Structure 1
Amino acid sequence: MARWPYITSKWKKLRLVKLGQNPICEICERRGMTVEANTVDHIKPISQGGAAYPELSGLMALCARCHNEKTAGFDRTHGNSTGRRFKGCDAEGEPIDPSDGWWGGGGSDHESGSSC
């Protein structure tokens, strides 16, 4: 992680603000677990055209496990066939991934009542 922008004071401040706003891993919380967030992730990776210093809404507070899951399955492969960054559904059957098309984006099955 010792590469730009992660070594800058601007990123370090942004990271602390995000973790202060969301101290619990956002994905684990959707999975019904309480796990401390220790990583801040760009929702749209810099390598895919994302901003180095996005608004807080462009970042996710994650635990190391969820961050590694997203990085390996989505960021490094420039997406995947489903477009989902995180696998699985919550207790109500709704996709865990807040970027999933079911939540209102393209390719949604929301109207048909199908989610996962």
Structure 2
Amino acid sequence: MSSRSKDYRRLITSKRWRELRAIKIARNPLCEDCLLDDRATLATEVHHIVPIESAHSISEMERLAFDYTNLRSLCEKCHQKTHERMHSRGKESAKASSERETKRFISKYLD
């Protein structure tokens, strides 16, 4: 998604994230949403319950990104459905993300 910030991309491509993601998938190899419906589907994705980009500072983004309790193992289909329910891929989300990015920039460089 093009609205992803440079800081977000840095976090989710880091070695620390890859290791945490691997731990989450190893500990919870089945989709947590499918399990609620008595289906066993392999998890292929790790979802942040509280989105990283909802943070208003870099330190808060890092806290959310690497907080194991903020993660859910999901299959691709459930991950897509989760984002649809959260409306995290539409115009309003892009606008809110842009506003958060502006606030982070101001906080980092102008405060």
TM-score by length of 1: 0.60
Name the count of aligned residue pairs.
77
Relative contact order: is structure 1 or structure 2 higher (C-alpha 8 Å, sep ≥ 6)?
Answer: 2
Q: Which residue is 1:58 aligned to? A: 70
- 2:86 is the counterpart of 1:74: yes
Change (3 A) 1:75 1:10: farther
Letter in 2 for 1:64: E
Q: Which residue is 1:19 aligned to? A: 25
Letter in 1 for 2:27: Q
Q: Which residue is 1:6 aligned to? A: 12
- 2:30 is the counterpart of 1:30: no
| 1:8-67 deviation digits (Å, cap 9, x = unpaired) | 10000000000011000000000110000010000100122261211x221000000011
- Quick one: percent identity of the two aligned structures? 30
Question: What runs of 5+ residues in structure 2 fail to find an aligned partner?
Answer: 56-60, 94-111
Q: CA deviation at 1:4?
A: 2.6
Give the CA RMSD over aligned residues.
2.1
Misfit runs of 4+, over 2 Å:
1-4
TM-score by length of 2: 0.62
Cα distance in 2 for residues equivalent to 1:4 and 1:21: 25
